[in-house]
Amino acid sequence: MFPSAPDRLVLVYVLALSITIALPGGAAAQGSPGDYARAQKLRTTYEALAVDIPGPATAIGQTHRFWYRKTVRGAGQFVIVDADTQQRQAAFDHEKIAASLSRATGSTYKATALPFNTLTFTPDGSAFTVSVEGSPYRCTVADASCRQPETARGGAGFGAGRRRPDEGPLVSPDGKWEALINNFNVAIRQVDTHALTRLGTDGSEGNAYELSSIAWSPDSTKIAAYRVKPGFRRQVHYVESSPEDQLQPKSSSIIYAKPGDVLDVRQPVLFLLDSKRQIVVDNALFPNAYAMSELVGATRSTGSSRSTRPQGPPARSFRKSRRPSSITPTRAVAGRSFATT
């Protein structure tokens, strides 16, 4: 049975009233652009009111230093503290880092508003890696320069930062030699010359030495490098629908491994220039490491050291003994080290 005329009028009125009431409520629930803009400014507004509030402290490798971020008026500042001397100083030149990141990204940043709140230092504290707009950048402390490293290896997703393959040779600390890759192998030459001395012949197209991994010892007598057998390169693609710098969408991709994918196999190798010896590091402790950090040369009370730090398995290092002509491999297990012969 159909409703009568008066009933139909009441039904139409009730429906019209429901739509009138529901529409403003639904719109208010979504919020206006102004609401979102104010919400995004809340953190900056309240952080600017608090001064000298430190964040959590993070140790820098095996050094006696740590870093933290503290709030300053209207900004944040990164600080390094030396536990031995109890001195603190800025972790890097904030002005120059902001300028370098601005050049590298094409955006504009200020020292008082750096585009990151956390960072990862290399074991010796000479450089650090940050994420800016979703991409990793490696910054060196000495010259306050930042650049985007080579795409992270499969499995790592966010790498520690590596030099681009098109970069030039790596100059030794004493400024006399250059290390580079020639025909998939590590080679050296004197600065300002072209005569190459190849340090090995085990590199090949499918198992080549990596320029970005080369590291000199502080005394310029040793070189460490990774020989890399590439794994599967799985790309994950992203589409930024509303980029800030253009009207059209942007696409990007990263290397991202999934369970079961074959990862890169990085074999650390040490070259002794004085004796022209090549030492292939026994990787029994990390035969299938998920990721391995950069090779780093350091000066300690026991001499120069060269170490590889795989994430997950125990660390493996090479330590120079008290006799200048010898190298003693050591293993670090559960915080303790012992020599192996």
DSSP three-state, residue 203 = coil
Alpha helices (H) along the chain: 5-30, 33-47, 94-105
Residue 43 is predicted with a pLDDT of 67
- Confidence category of residue 31, pLDDT binned at 50, 70, 90: confident
**For range 103-119, the mean pLDDT:** 89
Residue 66 is predicted with a pLDDT of 94
Residue 68 is predicted with a pLDDT of 94
Residue 96 is predicted with a pLDDT of 94
- The string of pLDDT tens digits covering residues 179-205 is 999 999 999 999 888 889 999 999 998
Alpha carbon 59 to its chain's center: 16
**Mean pLDDT rounded to a whole number for the chain:** 75
DSSP three-state, residue 286 = coil
Pair 240, 250: CB distance under 8 Å: yes
Pair 76, 47: CB distance under 8 Å: yes
Reference 243, options 41, 149, 106, 148; nearest CA is 106
Residue 84 is predicted with a pLDDT of 92
**For range 120-139, the mean pLDDT:** 88
**For range 48-66, the mean pLDDT:** 85
Alpha carbon 50 to its chain's center: 29
Q: What residue ranges do the domains of the chain occupy?
A: 41-148
- Confidence category of residue 101, pLDDT binned at 50, 70, 90: very high
**For range 138-167, the mean pLDDT:** 60
Q: How many helices (H) and strands (E) does the chain have?
A: 3, 24
